[in-house]
Chains A and B, each alone.
Chain A
């Protein structure tokens, strides 16, 4: 069983819809949680970063962490065609000393 599980999709939603992307994990030592966005033929870019449990909002994006359930989410409001990409969750227990563990990514398409 992988340390981080993520539904690969693909996920298609109409423009303007709210998108929910999720990851589950098994390692209770993970404390730092990230979401990356990867466009086709590009490297991943960091979207959101949260520490421990709670919510974090940045524009149309909200990241949520529930450490008790070992479950993290990324919500995209008012989705746009430019949001079409693969979204990867990543996590680590300690920056600098521990590697990032990634989910396999969810491919998202926003239909105009």
Chain B
């Protein structure tokens, strides 16, 4: 069974631009969570989608948004990029409601 895939793997943007990251969960998984990982703050929860609905949301500004499609694939969007948005963005999928989240390799975003 294929694992969680994320595209692109690396991205360089400049301040003020916007970016869209994509996550394809493991086949059959309906829950997708997004995390931001930085050296100082560690892994911070952004939001979780289940069956196309946002079920949980972390403490990030409204510039961070996401959506989930009917095939469970998910995208996250960051508008008006700031230098501090440089991070590894990870998505994780699960069947929905269980403890085992499977993480993708992440998208490393650098904002210049």
Contact = CB atoms under 8 A, between A and B. Distances in A.
A94 B40 CA distance: 26
Interface string B7-33: 000000000000000000000000001
Which of A34, A43, A90: most chain B CB closer than 10 A?
A43
Interface residues on A, range: 20 to 34
A99 interface: yes
B87 to A, nearest CB: 13
Interface string B88-104: 00101000111111111
Contact of B42 (A34, A88, A99): A88
Interface stretch (A10-18, A67-75, A101-109): A101-109
Interface of A: 6, 32, 34, 36, 41-46, 49, 88, 90, 95-105
